[in-house]
Amino acid sequence: MLGIFLDQETSGLDSLKHRVLEIAYTIVDLATGESLATYDAIIAQPQEVWAQRDPKSIAINGFRWDMLCTGKSEQQVREDIIATFKRVGIQRGKSVFICQNPSFDRVFFSQIIDPYAQERLFWPYHWLDFASMYWALEIQRCTQSKEPIPDELKLSKDSIAKAKQLPSEDRPHRAINGVRHLLLCYTSVVGFPGRAT
């Protein structure tokens, strides 16, 4: 089974008017933890998209107009992703997407490669939520140790990292930083059962 650990930075939170500015992913063998492919690209967007940017989102990801001017076209990024997924063997039933916020990432990813194309390519439609993995394991731990289920459990990736004594994600938020941090957290929380020790 392969995991596509994916993160994106966007011009805002509204997929109807905002666009992807950067996408990154690492494809990993979920048994061994072996990295099979990594991709990171800034996506060039027209001035109209930049004009509609959300200032709060831009403050978080640190993008500037001059950075976008050096990016790849959405068409080129689409072709890159399709080629990589084909080379590695991404297909439904044998791979899953893993994100911190899949409801956000899935809708923006569909701007680059529409859902009908994803269906034709027989890509996975399961987008797994890392925070839910952590939640399930914490509830299991409480049950086994007969501890009460907590009234509050912080589920941001940085909160999970702190609970596991891992560093926070590097700032500013960039897609490749998010992927690396997600992988670090996933390794600590879930792990890779076939990884050599």
pLDDT in tens, 27-60: 999 999 999 999 999 999 999 999 999 999 999 9
116: Cβ contacts below 8 Å, ≥ 6 apart:
none
Domain boundaries, the chain: 2-189
Give the DSSP H or E segment for 4: strand 2-10
pLDDT at 79: 98
What digits encode the pLDDT tens for the residues 1-10?
999 999 999 9
Question: What percentage of the chain has pLDDT greater than the value 90?
Answer: 94
pLDDT at 173 exceeding the cut of 80: yes
Superfamily of domain 2-189: Ribonuclease H-like superfamily/Ribonuclease H (3.30.420.10)
Give me the pLDDT at residue 152, please. Answer: 87
Per-residue pLDDT band for 151 (boundaries 50, 70, 90) equals confident
Q: Bridge-partner residues for 22, per DSSP?
A: 9, 42
48: region left, alpha or beta (phi > 0 left; psi from -120 to 50 alpha): alpha
Q: What is the pLDDT at residue 11?
A: 97
Look at residue 119 in the predicted model and tell me its pLDDT. 97
Radius of gyration of the CA atoms of the chain, in A: 18
Confidence at residue 197, expressed as pLDDT on a 0 to 100 scale: 62
3-state secondary structure of 6: strand
